[in-house]
Chain A
Amino acid sequence: MPFINEILQFKSLSIVGLEKNTGKTVCLNYVLSQLKNSNKQIAITSIGIDGENKDQVTHTHKPEIEVYEGMLFVTPETLYKKRKLVAEILEVSSQNTALGKLITARAKTEGKVIVSGPTTNKSLTAFIKKMQFFGADLTIIDGALSRKSIGSPAVTEAMILTTGASLSSSLSQLVFKTTYTYNLINIETVQKELATKLLDVETGVWSISDENKLIDLEINSVLLIDKLKEKLFTFGTRIFVSGAVTDSFFEFLKNQHQISEIEIIVRDFTKIFVSPEVYYSFLKKGGKIKVVQKTKLIAVCVNPISPDGYNLNSEELIKALEQKIAVPIYDVKNL
């Protein structure tokens, strides 16, 4: 029974797939089946997708999850009505999502349900607290690394990452890409005092003084950095970007003469949409990056089979990953 005991030390866990068909659902269902007999109260939901209409949301690949008796789950009205189990409604939220009000319920029989929850980091954090109020020892979030969702799985204390042949059919590419994400997850955090301050900052680009004072640079997004270059370093080289950072931004940074003094702070690793090549070269030139929120990676699960039939050698793959990644690696099929 790998990693189950470790999971139980945390109050919240996200399970995140690097790509579709990397075995996230298999992994999730494995975790749930193992927790079934643990006497712990488990709650589950996934990060909701906001701002899209109904059809698009229902067509996104939200898998049905096998929920067992006694478990808590959260899902919007529309999906709640499609559940294939008996459940007791505990709460109906006042806030609305694209799919209706969020329902918190307790399964009365075992069965399948599609879950979808809060969309923003703030509401995800509040949600985890609320589940604790309803008695949950562990809240599991079915997460995604997608630019579409504002909510980040990094708000959970711990994380399991799934990867596999669907990400790349070349073993070395797969290892390279997975290692890159692993490196991002392990980016160092800023000091606690500064982190608390930055958690509340939801928009903009900020300069941070040596005394941890925040100065609004009045740049809405670094996506348009080309036009606002001169503004960026007006107050120093320690910069907090509340939104996503991209290749063009890092390209710009690594070409600056003071690159070795530059420290970029992002909310969490999911905000980094920079290709590994650019990212590593930024570091090589002396650039520093830190995050506000970090999650503990418990394990990496791999699915050596891709949906188009490509098969990697499971043992070889695990061995190759183990050389780069310092957490346990499992094949989902052998869980």
Chain B
Amino acid sequence: MQLKKALTQLNGLQFMIENLDLKSAMGKRFLVETPWFVSKKVIETELNLIEKTLENLETKSAFISKIQTRLSQLRDISGSIKNIGNKLILDDIQLFEVKHFAMVVQEIIKLQKEHQLQLIEISGLEEVVKILDPDKTNIPSFYIYDSYSEELSIIRKELKIHKSKKFISEEEGNKELDLLFLQSEKLESTIREQLCNQLVKYHKNLEKAFESVAHLDVIIAKAIQAKQLGLSKPSIAKGLTIYKKMFNPQIKEHLQLQQKEYQSIDIQLYKSLCFITGANMAGKTVLLKTVALCQYLFQFGFYIPAENAEICLVDKLLLLVGDLQSEENGLSSFASEMLKVNEMVAEVLKNDNVFVLIDELARTTNPIEGKAIVNAVATIFNENNVRSLITTHYSGLNAQCRKLRVKGLLDSISTKNINAKNVNDFIDYSLVEDNVGDAPQEALRICELLGIHEEIVNKAQIELKK
């Protein structure tokens, strides 16, 4: 799976990507084409590159911004590089773009040398520059230079003096002009062909350099983001995933705008099933999405929104959040959800190392059968030691499964001071191990706080006592 696809699955991830300050179009493309890393080594390399950049972000800020300026000058010349590889002839505009690209790359290499700081290794393109800058002007402009051919330079000289020459008639003069121009164009084509033939040899270098500078753009953007959002470098764990003070950057930013504080959360996840229970408004869904976000970020080589993170590598992340009702294929929310769950179970039985996250499993059907379905899926996950997280507010969950409960509304609070706007301030989002497995009965209390019509609350309470 590429990052591009993951973006459609979790909007929190989209927030992170949009927040990245990428300077080049190729950097953007490189980023969204990032594969799901499953190799420890690859992730470590990527994280170390970010770390190195991050270490120098402040002390060498001038250097970083110089590099970013160069990156912003880069154009996506992948088409021209491909054409060189396929031995096609480029026109002047494409040759200009290749030359410009090669010169900017050389400048980035030079900057890294001058500042004795190599953020990323880039293969040099001095040979490409040499071919396209025969006069060694070191100016990023291009045409078929006179110095490529003596014959060409002679014709061009004649072209230049043509105006001052006298002809029998204007027609005669134009004829000669056209002829001269035709000759020079012919020669130019031959030279263009020769130049492209010379470039073929450096096709791989160009490809590599293209990739490296795109990567460099991504690394710098990731490092800047890590600093801005207070992300940390995760370590690669085995068996147990631990987050200390994990937070959701998007929600944190949103709360900061309202001058509110985000309560970060500690959580540990084994290679087994874990239920998340808690009252409505307790933030179960946000928690699940944040855990999913962290796993995505980790395996696409980002820093993590937590004070400390030790994360296990998984082959796949299977995520089920939100309403799946699809009017197009005529399936209800419930039917779509169950089909998706079915796929997940099939995958789980096939692959031992996946991470399944399901929000409010079977919530759209009646509570009796819903609970039965939850317990059935839980039993399968439990028996197979599936790393999984399921949020629910059903009571009577499988006793053998681990349950984490969000603490929820502080008991000590009197309802008088609370309303729909500030209710979030009175919720404790931290998690406790819960052995009972009964869902907290807080729905009516929350209704009261939200100022829901008294009659509804009273009637519901009578109903409960029956």
Which among A84, A86, A90, A106 has the highest number of chain B CB atoms within 10 Å? Answer: A86
Chain B 89-123 residues near chain A, CB threshold 8 A:
91-93, 96-97, 100
The answer to whether B156 touches A108, judged by C-beta atoms less than 8 angstroms apart, is yes
Least CB separation from A100: chain B residue: B93
Q: Assess A108 versus B143: contact at CB under 8 Å? Given A69-B160, A84-B181.
A: yes
> Contact at B143–A89, with CB atoms within 8 Å?
yes
A-contacting residues, B127-185, CB 8 Å: 141-143, 156, 159-160, 163, 181, 184
Q: Are A109 and B160 in contact (CB under 8 A)?
A: yes
Residues of A87-115 whose CB lies within 8 A of B:
87-92, 94, 101, 103, 106, 108-111
B92 x A89 contact (CB < 8 A): yes
- 8 chain-A/chain-B pairs, Cβ below 8 angstroms: A80-B93, A84-B181, A87-B143, A89-B142, A92-B100, A94-B75, A101-B93, A106-B141
Residues of B within 8 A of A81 (CB): 91
B143, closest chain A residue (CB): A88
Given A69-B160, A110-B163, the answer on whether A86 and B143 have CB atoms closer than 8 Å is: yes
A89 to B163, CA, bound (A): 24
Known: A69-B160, A101-B93, A108-B143. 12 other contacts (CB 8 A): A77-B93, A86-B159, A86-B184, A88-B141, A89-B93, A89-B96, A89-B142, A89-B143, A90-B141, A92-B93, A92-B97, A109-B156
Top-8 shortest CB links A-B: A88-B143, A89-B96, A90-B141, A109-B159, A89-B142, A88-B141, A109-B160, A92-B97
Which residues of chain A come closer than 8 Å to B91, judged between CB atoms? 81
Q: Would you call A92 and B160 a contact (CB within 8 A)?
A: no
Q: How far is the CB of A73 from chain B (nearest CB, A)?
A: 13
CB distance from A116 to the nearest CB of B (A): 16
A68 to B: closest C-beta gap in Å: 9
The digit string for B53-79, where 1 denotes a CB below 8 A from any CB of A, is: 000000000000000000000010000
State in angstroms the CA–CA spacing of A264 and B187 once bound together. Answer: 60
CA distance A103 to B97 in the complex (A): 11
Q: Which residues of A contact B143 (CB under 8 A)?
A: 86-89, 108
Which residue of chain B has the shortest Cβ distance to A80 in the bound complex? Answer: B93
User: How far in angstroms is the closest Cβ of chain A from B323?
Assistant: 35
**Cβ contacts under 8 Å, A103 to chain B:** 93
- Taken together as a complex, chains A and B put the C-alpha atoms of A90 and B141 apart, in Å, by 4
Q: How far is the CA of A87 from the CA of B181 in the complex (A)?
A: 12
- What is the bound-complex CA distance between A94 and B26, given in angstroms? 13
* CB of A118, distance to nearest CB on chain B (Å): 18
Cα A94 to Cα B76 in complex, Å, equals 9
Tell me the nearest residue of chain B to A89, going by C-beta.
B96
Give B75's nearest chain A residue, CB to CB.
A94
CA distance A81 to B93 in the complex (A): 9
What is the CB-to-nearest-CB distance from A96 to chain B, in angstroms, rounded to a whole number? 12
Q: Is the interface of B mostly helix, strand, loop or mixed?
A: helix
State in angstroms the CA–CA spacing of A70 and B260 once bound together.
62
Determine the residue in chain B with the shortest Cβ distance to A87: B143
A247 CB, nearest partner CB in chain B, Å:
45
Q: Which residue of B lies closest to A69 (CB)?
A: B160
Contacts of B163 in A (CB 8 A): 110
**Considering only CB atoms, which chain A residue lies closest to B97 in the complex?**
A92
Q: How far is the CA of A108 from the CA of B97 in the complex (A)?
A: 19
Among B25, B75, B156, the residue within 8 A (CB) of A92 is: B75
Most A CB contacts (10 A, CB to CB) among B75, B92, B97, B156 go to B92
Cα distance A175–B25 when bound, in Å? 54
CB distance from B174 to the nearest CB of A (A): 11
CA A218 to CA B403, docked complex, whole Å: 55
User: Known: A87-B143, A88-B143. Contact between A110 and B160, CB under 8 A?
Assistant: yes
When C-beta atoms are compared, the residue in chain B nearest to A93 turns out to be: B75
Could you say which residues of chain B place their CB within 8 Å of the CB of A87?
143
Chain A residues whose CB sits within 8 angstroms of the CB of B181 once the complex forms: 84, 111
Give the chain B neighbours of A86 by CB distance below 8 A. Answer: 143, 156, 159, 184
Assembly CA distance A110 to B159 (angstroms) = 8
Q: How far is the CA of A103 from the CA of B93 in the complex (A)?
A: 8
B178, chain A: closest CB distance, angstroms: 9
Looking at the assembled complex, report how far the CB atom of A100 sits from the nearest CB atom of chain B, in whole angstroms.
9
- Between B75, B141, B163, the greatest number of chain A beta carbons within 10 A of the residue's beta carbon is seen for B141
What is the minimal beta-carbon distance from A148 to any residue of chain B, in angstroms?
27
Choose from A84, A92, A109 the contact partner of B96 (Cβ within 8 Å).
A92
**CB closest residue in chain A, given B180:** A109
The docked-state distance in angstroms from the alpha carbon of A195 to that of B163 is 47
CA–CA, A84 to B179, complex, Å?
A: 12
**A91 to B75 alpha-carbon distance, docked (Å):** 11
Residues in A whose Cβ lies below 8 Å from that of B96: 89, 92
Residues of B within 8 A of A80 (CB): 93
User: Which among A80, A88, A110, A111 has the highest number of chain B CB atoms within 10 Å?
Assistant: A88
Chain A residues with Cβ below 8 Å from B97 are: 92
Q: Which residues of A contact B184 (CB under 8 A)?
A: 86
- Complex alpha-carbon distance, A109 and B156, angstroms: 8
- Chain A contacts of B93 at CB under 8 A? 77, 80, 89, 92, 101, 103
Report the nearest B residue to A110, measured CB to CB. Answer: B163
What's the nearest-Cβ distance from chain B to residue A287, in Å? 47
Chain B nearest CB, measured from A82 CB (Å): 12
The residue in chain A whose Cβ has the minimal distance to the Cβ of B159 is A109
**Which residues on A sit within 8 Å (CB–CB) of B160?**
69, 109-110
Closest residue of chain B to A68 (Cβ to Cβ) is B163
Chain B residues with CB under 8 Å of A110's CB are 160, 163
CB distance from A134 to the nearest CB of B (A): 10
**Minimum CB–CB distance for A320 against chain B, Å:** 36
Distance in angstroms between the alpha carbons of A218 and B184 in the assembled complex: 59
Residues of the B chain whose Cβ atoms lie less than 8 Å from the Cβ of A88:
141-143
The residues of A that contact B141 with a CB separation of less than 8 Å are 88-91, 106
Q: Which of A192-241 contact B (CB under 8 A)?
A: none
A107-165 CB contacts (< 8 Å) to partner B: 108-111
